[in-house]
Amino acid sequence: MDIISQKVYQMYSKYPFPSPHVGGKRLAELADLLNMFCIEMEFDLSGRSVLDAGTGTGHRLIEAAAAHPDCRFLAIDFSEVSLGIARANALKRDIRNVEFLQCDIVESTSSLGVFDVVLVMGVLHHLSDPSRGLAHLVGNLSDNGILLLYVYGKIGAAERMRRKQMISMLVGERMDFDLGIDFVKELGFDSFEYGWNIGADDQLTLDSLIVDAYLHVNEHLYTFDDILDLLRSSGLVGFAIYGITSGTKGVLLDMDLCCPSMPKSEAIRRRYKALSVADKYRFADLFYKPNGYTIVAFKGGGLNQFDPSTRIQRNLVML
């Protein structure tokens, strides 16, 4: 394991994400995303195989597995501590359609096999080499498969980065997580943006969220153009941004509509319409200042199964 991966591994072993608490809050975000996707795209998930890469303590995946008892889920993570909590959570919820396995995404995932759906939610941006990790996971996607990805946004991260830098200056060179957690609480930084905002009702969960948001040892931040660069070298043929997170809100994007909440004249509408899809995304970056992107990406066969009139087709960028 490389040095950056070792640091990330040690961090999540001490502060498993999203919660070290077995039987804690039920987190429905992933189940909701899959449901929305299936309804909107008329995609039938029944009987499909799903890989969740970087499942953490499994709180989100377990709710997705509960909602789709006829799907087979494989959930991987390199942290045995997180996987232990995830297994205990699954047992407590009597979830029988998930298998948990230790695996380092940066090293290799080829032995895991091929899946209809690959989920990589909040993980790629913490890898020592996100392109390498993504290329591995694309190798696990069937030709008709669907990859769902959540990565951090750069433009919307400015305030969190400002706070993170202040904490880092106070903690100093040798990362002391416990001291950093105390400083975050003392400075009142423990209010969260989208993704961390799970309403922690116990101190250990709050500490894990604080570490992930303000003391993380490795994170990459993305703009639309950074996403384009990342996906270009991955073996995928096309992608669409399904939605973004902006502040504490989730927004579903439709690139045919010019930022619905922006006041606009006919002249602005006309000029917006003439932009390429990529430029519309660049415009949305500046308007919404995303702190995260949910991306749906495809290999060769994945695209043809969807109705050409869907929002995803309007949002599509070919690689």
Q: Catalog residues that contact ligand SAM under the rule CB under 6 A.
A: 5, 8, 12, 17-18, 54-56, 60, 77-79, 82, 104-106, 121-123, 126-127, 212
99 vs 225, which CB is nearer to ligand SAM? 99
Residue number with CB closer to ligand SAM (54 or 153): 54
Taking the C-alpha atoms of residue 242 and residue 251, their distance in angstroms, rounded to an integer, is 9
For ligand SAM, the closer of residues 219 and 237 by Cβ is 219
Token pair of 7, please?
Answer: 């640091």
Residue for token pair 């993504």: 134
CA-to-CA distance for 215 and 166, rounded, in angstroms? Answer: 11
CB contact burial 107-121 (16+ within 10 A = b; e otherwise): eebeebeebbbbbbb
Closer to ligand SAM by Cβ: residue 238 or 243: 243
Closest CA relative to residue 295, chosen from 189, 137, 161:
137
Angle of CA points 9, 13, 15, to nearest 5°: 115
Between residues 74 and 303, which has the closer beta carbon with respect to ligand SAM?
A: 74
- Please, what is the minimum distance in Å from the beta carbon of residue 120 to ligand SAM? 8
Give me the least distance between CB of 104 and ligand SAM, in Å please.
4
CA triplet 242, 146, 235: central angle to 5 degrees? 100
Least Å from the CB of residue 17 to ligand SAM: 4
Kindly tell me the burial class for residue 90, based on how many C-beta atoms sit within 10 Å of its own C-beta (0-12, 13-18, 19 or more): buried
Residue 250's closest CA among 291, 207, 284, 209? 291
With beta carbons less than 8 A apart as the criterion, state whether 77 and 119 touch.
no
Question: What are 246's strand-pairing partners?
Answer: 249
- What is the closest distance, in whole angstroms, from the C-beta atom of residue 197 to ligand SAM in the complex? 12
Place of tokens 């008892």: 69
User: Closer CB to ligand SAM, residue 10 or residue 144?
Assistant: 10
Point out the residue whose Cβ comes nearest to ligand SAM.
56
CB of 113 to ligand SAM, least distance (A): 17
Nearest CB to ligand SAM, comparing residues 101 and 278 = 101
CB of 9 to ligand SAM, least distance (A): 7
